[in-house]
Amino acid sequence: MQKLYNYLKGSLLLMLIVVANSAFAQTTITGTVTDDSGPLPGVTISVNGTGTQTLSNGKYSVAASKGSILKFSFIGYFTKEVKVGDQSVIDVKLSPNNARLNEVVVTALGINKEKRSLGYASTTVKAEELTKTAATNFATALYGKVPGMRIASAPGGATSGVSIQLRGVNSILNTSTPLIIMDGVPIHDVDRNNPSFLNGNRIGSNGLVDLNAEDIESVSILKGASAAALYGSEANNGVILITTKNGKGSKGVRVDFNANYTQDKVAYLPDYQNVRGAGMPVQLGIYGEDANGFNSNTYPINGVPMRATVQGSLNFGPLFDGKPILSWDGVVRPYSPQKNNYDGLFQTAHNSNINVAFSHATENSSTRFSLSDINTEGVSLGSHNQKVTANLNSNFKLSKNYSVDVLINFIHQDINNRPYSVNNLTQGFTGMMPRFDNGQWYLNKYKTSLGYKYVVGGNQSLTPNENIIYPNYRTDILDFVWNVKENKTEEISNRLIGSVTNNWQIVNNLNLRARLSADLTGGNTINKNSTAVPTIFGFDPNTSGSFGLLSNSYNIIYGEVLLTYDKKITSDIGMSLMGGYNAERDFAYNTSISTNGGLTADNNFDIAASYLTPTGSGSQTFLSKDALFGTINANYKKYLYVQGTLRQDRTSTMNPAHNTFVYPSVNSGFVFSDAFHLPSFISYGKLRASWGIVGSYPISYQANIAYNQGTLGVQLPGTGAVLTTTTRDPFGNDAIRPEKKHEYEFGLETKFFQNRVNLDVTYYNARIVDQLLNLALPQSAGASGVLTNIGELSNKGFELAISGTPILTSKFSWETGLNFASNQNKVVKLSNGASELIHQDFDGNAAVLKSVVGQPMGDFYAHPVATDSKGQKIVGDDGTYVLDGNKMQKYGNAMPKAVGGYYNTFNYKSFTLELYADFRFGGSVMPSGLHWMTGRGLTKESLNHMDKAHGGLSYYLDGNGKGIQTSAAQGPAGQTVYNDGMLMPGVTANGASNTNVISQAYYYWVVDNWGGPQYSNSDYASYIQTNSYIKMREISFGYALPTNIAKKLMAKNIKLSIFGRNLFYIYRTIKGMDAEQLTAGAMWNQQTTNLGTNPSTRTYGMMLRASF
C-alpha cells in the first residue's frame, strides 16, 4: 500500500487541484459550417468535452466560454479549431482531407510511402493504441490489433519474453519472431543473457521488451515476402518497423507527461478441490495407512499423541474434518483445506512508469527528448526491476538541401531475480501442494534460524531441533522457496541505440542518404547462491554457496547508403529508382568467473571466497553480413503503381564457398476508385498483388563442422596438460542452404460511405523451401541432431480487417473493428524422403509431436486404448483400460486455425471506453501438468465418483482383490463396501465383459499419470485438447479534463484513465489455466505443453497523461 501511495501521490495531488477549479462563464455561439459545395450537415462541434452537430442546413448553436476552443470535425475533412473570442457567430469552412486516403506509411528501409501506392498488406498501429493500457512493452499492446499477427507472452510479469508470429509458423527450427527495425536500424531481439529464452530456472526475456512504448510513434508491420523483400534473408518471419516519436510539428516547447501504475496479480489457477487431504483409499493399501486413511504413526506433541497424514504425493486421502492434526511443520491445526495455499509463494507485482517528453521545433530543427523511469516487478518473490530510458530524436536542417537526423536511445536496466520457474510445482509430482498445506508454512521453514537450508530427518544440522521430521513435507516446494529466496541474481545492463542519418538532395531528383547506427548492449550479472549447508560440515560445490560474475556485451554496427532518383517521365507516368548497400557486423562477448567448490566462508559472496581455484569461461560470437539492393517504382496517373526490388545478400553464417543469395520481389497497387467512376458510396477502392522471396539463415557457427576443444589440466605431476577434442553435437553441415519463403498475395482495400466503413482483405500463399532444422537423431547415430535442409512448408490463408463508425453524434460515437486471420499450414515434403518428422517425444513415448507430409505441422499423436477384434475396449487386470503400445493415433494439431481481435471504442462527451478482445480458435495443446494434478487428486475433477453423491458405484473386494458391484451393506463374506467405484465398459483379455469395479482414486491416478505404455497406463490422448479462447484483453476507461480546466493547470490537455488487462475469458476450451500459460519460449513447439514457467496474471492500473 505504501508503494501504491508513493507511486500515485503526484497524480492524486493533481486530481485534487482539478476538482478545486470549476467555475467559469459561458455564452452561446452560432454559425454555419460549409465546404466547397455548400452547407455541411452532421459536423461535430465539440467544446470542453460537450458538443453538438450541425443541422441539415449546416447551422449550429453551442454554449462556450470565451477563450475556449471550438473543434469542428467531420469524417473525410480536416478538423478545424477556432478559439472563441468576443464574437458570437463563427462560420467555418472545412476542407476535404484527401490525406486520409493519402496516408503515409513507413515501409522497408524506413522509406515513407503513400499507403495507396503499396502492392502488399501493411498495418500500422499508432502510439495511442500502444500506450492505452500501459502494457509493459509494445508487443503485448498489439494483441488482436494486427490481422495475421499472433502474440503469446510468457507468464510471470514485465520481464518475461513475448513471442510474435506473423502468418503462421514459417520455420521449424528458428523462432517465429519477426525482424525488428527501429527508425531504420536493426535491433537485436535475442536477449543477451538468454540465447535460449529460458536461462536456467529464471525466466528470461527477449530484446524487444526493452523498448519503451511511450517513445514509439507508430509500429508498422510488414507481413508478406514482398513487403519485406528488401530485408532479404532476415525477413522470413516478416518485419516490424518501429518509428519513434520526434519533435516535428510541435510549436514552441511542448511537454508531455505520463504516469501510470499497474498491479499484476496471479490469476487463472487450476480449479482445486477442497474436500480431502493426502493419502489414498485404505482398501488400496498403498501407504500402509491406518483404518481411517491417516498415517499409521502418531506423533507425541506436548505428550499428546497427534495424528498426521501419510507422507505422499497423492491426495485421495481422508475427508477434511476440521479436527486437530499435526502438520509437517510441527504445528497442530484443524484438518481443513487451505484454500489459497499458493498465495504465499507469489507476490503482487507493482509496476509504475513515469515518462516526461520535451519537444521543440523551429524552422530548421526539431528535437524531442524524453525520460522514463519504469519500475516493474514479477509475481515471483523478490523479482523487481528498474528501467530508465532516455530518448533523443533530433533533426537538423543544415541547409536547404541537406539535413541530419540524430537518434539516441539509452536504456538502463537493473533486473533483480527474474521470475523463477515453477516447473517443479506444476509438473513435478513431489512439488504439487496438497490441499492441507500452505505456502506460508514453507516460507517459515525453508531455512533454519541460522539461515541455512532446511534439513530433513536426521541429517546433519547446526539446529537439529529444527529438522523437518513430520509428514507430509514437499521437498520440491521447500527447494523452490529456498532457490527463489536465497539464490539471487542481479543483472545490470546499459543499452545504447543510436543512429546518424545524412540526407543530401544532390540535385532536384537525386537524393543520397547515408546512415550509421549502433545497438550496443553491455551488462553485468551477479549470481549469489547462499550457503545451504554450513561449511563447517565440509565444502561441497552444490551446497556451500557460490558467487559468479558475468559480463557480456552485444553490439550491432550497421551502415547503409541509399541513392534515390525520382523522375516524372510524362505527366501521367512517374518513376523512381533506388539503389543501396548496407552492411552489418555483430559482435558479442561473454565472460564469466565463478567460485568453484563452494564458498570458503558461509555467504561470503566474492570470487576471493572460492574454495578451489575459481573457474572462468568466455565466448566470442561474430556475425558479418551485407547486402546490395535496388528498387524500381513506377506509377501511372497515381492510381496504378508497380514496384520491383532485388537484394543480394552475403552472410558469414554460411559456408564461405556459397554464401551469396538473391531475393527478388514485385508488387502492384491499383486504385480502381480513381481509375473508374464508381457509385458514390464507395469512397475508396484498391487492389493489390505482390510476389517476393525472403529467407533465413542459420545462426552463427551453427553450420560449421568442427571439434570442440578443451583441457583437463595436468593429471599427473611431471606430465603436461591433457588436451582433448570431441565432435560437436548437434552436428553442423557445411552444405546448408538458407530457408527461402516464396510468397504471393492479393488484397482488396475499400472504404464506404465517406470512410465510415473500411474493409481490407488479403489472401496469401507462401511456400517455404529448404526448411532449416536440427534434425533430431537417435543418439546412437553419433549426435542428438544434425543441421539440415529438411523440406518444404506452405502457409496460406486470408486476413480480414473490418472497421467502422456505426454511430457518430456530437456527444456520442462508437467505433468498432474486427481483425480476423486464418492460416493453413502444410508440410509439403521432406527432403530425406521420410513421410514424417518427429519434433518431440513426451514422457517415454506417451505422446509425440510430429509433422506428417501433407498435413499441418505439429500433429499430436498418442496411444489409443487397445481394442479386440470386435473393436471393444480391452480392460486390464487392474480394471483400467489397456493402451495399445504398438499404435499411435492423431489427437490434435498445434497450429491455431484462426486468430484475431475485436474492439469497440465508445466516446461520450469527454469519456472514452475502450474494449479489446482477442481470440484464437483451434490449435491443440497438451497441458500435462493439469492432468497430473488431477491424477494426484488435487483438482475438482478428481472428485468425480468419490462417493455415492458424486456418482460412485458401491462394491466390495473379493478374494482376488477384484471389485464386485453390490447394493448390499456388506459383501457376502462380510467384506466392507466402498462407494467410490468406477466400472470401465469393455472386455477383459479373455473376452469376457469387465465387471471389476475399481476405486476412482486408482482410476485417476492411473489414467492421469506420467509415462508411455511401457511405464504406465496413462491416457495421454485425453491430455490433448483444443486451446480456443476469446479473452477480454483490455478495458480502459478514460476521462479528458475540459480544456479550460486543463488550462488552469497550465496544461493543454489532461487525461485520466483506469484500465485492466488480461481480464477474463468470454470463452475458453481449457479451464484451470490461462490460454497462454503454456508459453515457454519463442519457438512454436515451446508453446504447447509446458505448464511450468510462472503463473499467469491479471493486471489493473491507472494512468495520468498530460501535455503542457
Partner 1 sequence: MKKIFLIAALIIVAGITSCKKSQLADAYVNPATAHSTTLEKQYAGFLSSDLDYVMYRYWNYFVVLQNTALHYTQAVGWQNAPGQYIPGAASITDRWNNFYTFLAQYKEFLNVYSKQSATDQKNKRIYLISATIHFYDQTQKVVDLHGDIPWSQAGLLSTNGGDYSKSYAKYDDAASIYTKMLDDLKGFADELNSLSVPASVSSVMKTQDFINNGDVMKWKKYCNSLRIKLLTRVSGVASFQSRTSTEIAQITSNASTYPVVSSNDDNILVKVYDLSTPISSDFYSGIIGWGDNDVASKKMIDIMNTNGDPRLRAMFQPGAKAGNTYTGLDQSLSGSDQQPLIAGGTLSRYNFSTLSKNRFLPGILITSAEVSFLLAEYYLNAGNDAAAKTAYESGISESIDFYYWLRTLSNDGSAGPLAPTSASEKTAYITSNGINWLNAASTADKLKLIAIQKWTNYSVLQPLESWAEYRRTKLPAFSFVNDPSTSVLPQPPTRWIYPTNEQTYNTANYQAVKGKDTFTTKIFWDVK
Q: Which of residues 1021-1040 bind partner 1 (CB under 8 A)?
A: none
Instruction: Give the interface segment with partner 1, choosing from 220-228, 455-463, 920-928, 969-977 (CB under 8 A).
Output: 455-463
Nearer to partner 1, 54 or 315 (CB): 315
Decide: is 728 part of the binding site for partner 1 (CB under 8 A). Answer: yes
Instruction: Give whichever of 390 and 583 is closer to partner 1, judged by the CB atom.
Output: 583
- Residue whose C-alpha cell is 499430436: 860
From the CB of 473, what's the least distance to partner 1, in Å?
10
Nearest to 784 by CA among 842, 734, 733, 730: 730
Nearest distance from residue 621's CB to partner 1, in Å?
8
Q: How far apart are CA 953 and CA 879, in angstroms?
A: 14
By C-beta, is 80 or 728 nearer to partner 1? 728
Tell the smallest beta-carbon distance from residue 733 to partner 1 (Å).
6
Please report whether residue 784 would count as binding partner 1 according to CB under 8 A.
yes
Among 24, 78, 369, 504, binds partner 1 (CB under 8 A): 504
Q: Between residues 449 and 780, which has the closer beta carbon with respect to partner 1?
A: 780
Rg (CA), the chain: 33
Residue (219 or 609) nearer to partner 1, CB: 609
x/- letters, 688..717, toward partner 1 (CB under 8 A)? ------------xx-xxxxxxxx-xxxxxx
**Interacting stretch for partner 1, rule CB under 8 A, among 208-216, 681-689, 939-947, 1008-1016?**
1008-1016
Closer residue to partner 1, CB minimum distance, 13 or 456: 456
User: Least distance (Å) from partner 1 to the CB of residue 225?
Assistant: 24
Distances (CA, A) of 191 to 215, 495, 523, 624, 648: 21, 12, 11, 19, 28
C-alpha cell at 561: 547508403
Which three-class secondary structure state does DSSP give residue 13? helix
Q: What residues contact residue 155 under an 8 Å CB cut-off, 6+ apart?
A: 1074, 1076, 1077, 1079, 1093, 1094, 1095, 1096, 1097
For residue 1045, give every residue at least 6 positions away whose Cβ sits within 8 Å of its Cβ, in sequence order, or none.
18, 21, 22, 1054
> Binders of partner 1: how many residues, by CB under 8 A?
135
Residues 509-548, interacting with partner 1 (CB under 8 A): 512, 514-516, 537-538, 540-543
CB 789 within 8 A of CB 878: no
Tell me the window of 39-47, 97-105, 289-297, 413-421 that interacts with partner 1 (CB under 8 A): 289-297
From 573, 781, 989, 1066, residue interacting with partner 1 (rule: CB under 8 A):
781
Please measure the distance between the N-terminal and C-terminal CA atoms of the chain and give it in whole angstroms: 30
For CA atoms 568, 574, 577, 578, the dihedral sign is positive
Q: Shortest Cβ distance from residue 929 to partner 1 (Å)?
A: 16
Shortest distance (Å) from residue 445 CB to partner 1 = 14
C-alpha 787/C-alpha 768 separation (Å) is 17
State yes or no: residue 859 binds partner 1 (CB under 8 A): no
The residue within the footprint of partner 1, chosen from 187, 242, 848, 925 (CB under 8 A), is: 848
Specify whether the CB–CB gap between 623 and 652 falls below 8 A: yes
**Closest by Cα among 848, 836, 829 to 789:** 829
The binding track of 22-61 with respect to partner 1, each residue x by CB under 8 A or -, is ----------------------------------------
* Distance, CA of 366 to CA of 590 (rounded, Å): 39
Q: Which of residues 296-315 bind partner 1 (CB under 8 A)?
A: 296-297, 299, 310-312, 314
Cβ nearer to partner 1, comparing 700 with 1025: 700
User: Which residue of 60, 605, 661, 731 would you call a contact of partner 1, by CB under 8 A?
Assistant: 731
Nearer to partner 1, 784 or 1022 (CB): 784
**Residue 119's closest CA among 226, 222, 239?**
226
Residue 1083 carries which DSSP code?
Answer: S
Interface residues for partner 1 in 56-85 (CB under 8 A)?
none
Q: How far apart (Å, rounded) are the C-alpha atoms in residues 961 and 978?
A: 13
**Shortest Cβ 840–partner 1 spacing (Å):** 9
C-alpha span between 685 and 696 (Å, rounded): 35
The C-alpha angle 366, 369, 374, rounded to 5 degrees, equals 155
* Among positions 394, 655, 754, 1107, the unique one binding partner 1 when judged by CB under 8 A: 655
Compute the distance between CA of residue 566 and CA of residue 511 in angstroms, rounded to an integer. Answer: 9
Minimum distance from residue 293 beta carbon to partner 1 (Å): 11
Distance CA 883, CA 864 (A): 6
Is 878 among the residues that bind partner 1 (CB under 8 A)?
yes
Q: Is 458 in the site for partner 1 (CB under 8 A)?
A: yes
Q: Mark 463-492 with x for binding to partner 1 (rule: CB under 8 A) and - for no binding.
A: -x--x-xxx---x---x-------------
Site for partner 1 in 816-845 (CB under 8 A): 832, 838, 841, 843-845
Whole-angstrom Cα distance, residue 1005 to residue 286? 12
Using CB under 8 A as the binding rule, the residues of this chain from 1046 to 1085 that contact partner 1 are none
The Cα–Cα gap between 365 and 247 comes to 9
Q: Is 995 in the site for partner 1 (CB under 8 A)?
A: no
d(CA 916, CA 913): 10
Backbone angles phi, psi at 609, to 5 degrees: -95, 20
| 770 scored as a contact of partner 1 (CB under 8 A) | no
3-state percent helix, strand, coil for the chain, nearest multiple of 5: 15, 50, 40
Closest distance to partner 1 from the beta carbon of 1070 (Å): 25
Q: Is 659 in the site for partner 1 (CB under 8 A)?
A: yes
Measure the CA–CA gap between 277 and 313, rounded to whole angstroms.
10
30-38, 159-167, 279-287, 407-415 -> range binding partner 1 (CB under 8 A): 279-287
Q: What phi and psi, each to the nearest 5 degrees, are found at residue 831? A: -70, -25
Q: In the set 56, 112, 570, 726, which binds partner 1 (CB under 8 A)?
A: 726
Cβ count near 993 (within 10 Å): 11
Residues 908-967 that bind partner 1 (CB under 8 A): none
Handedness of CA 287, 293, 299, 301 (dihedral sign): positive
Query: Looking at 39, 559, 644, 951, which residue binds partner 1 (CB under 8 A)?
Result: 559
CB of 624 to partner 1, least distance (A): 5
For position 732 contacting partner 1 by CB under 8 A, the verdict is yes
Does 1018 engage in binding with partner 1 (CB under 8 A)?
Answer: no
Q: Does 877 bind partner 1 (CB under 8 A)?
A: yes
Q: Pick out residues in 313-332 that bind partner 1 (CB under 8 A).
A: 314
DSSP string of 570-603? SSSEEEEEEEEEEEEEEEEEEEEEEEEEEESSTT
Contact 425, 432 (CB under 8 A): yes
Burial class (CB in 10 A: 0-12, 13-18, 19+), 251: exposed
- Among 38, 249, 303, 778, which residue interacts with partner 1 (rule: CB under 8 A)? 778
Applying the rule CB under 8 A, the residues between 577 and 616 that interact with partner 1 are 581-585, 596-597, 612-613, 615
364 binds partner 1 (CB under 8 A): no
C-alpha distances out from residue 664 to 359, 563, 632, 692, 881, Å: 41, 19, 12, 6, 57
Asked if 507 is part of the footprint of partner 1 (rule: CB under 8 A), the reply reads no
Among 48, 696, 733, 912, which residue sits at the site for partner 1 (rule: CB under 8 A)?
A: 733
**CB under 8 A: which stretch of 260-268, 719-727, 737-745, 1070-1078 binds partner 1?**
719-727
List the interface residues with partner 1, window 388-447 (CB under 8 A).
Answer: 398-399, 402, 404
Amino acid at 106: V
> Which lies closer to partner 1 via its Cβ, residue 558 or residue 902?
558
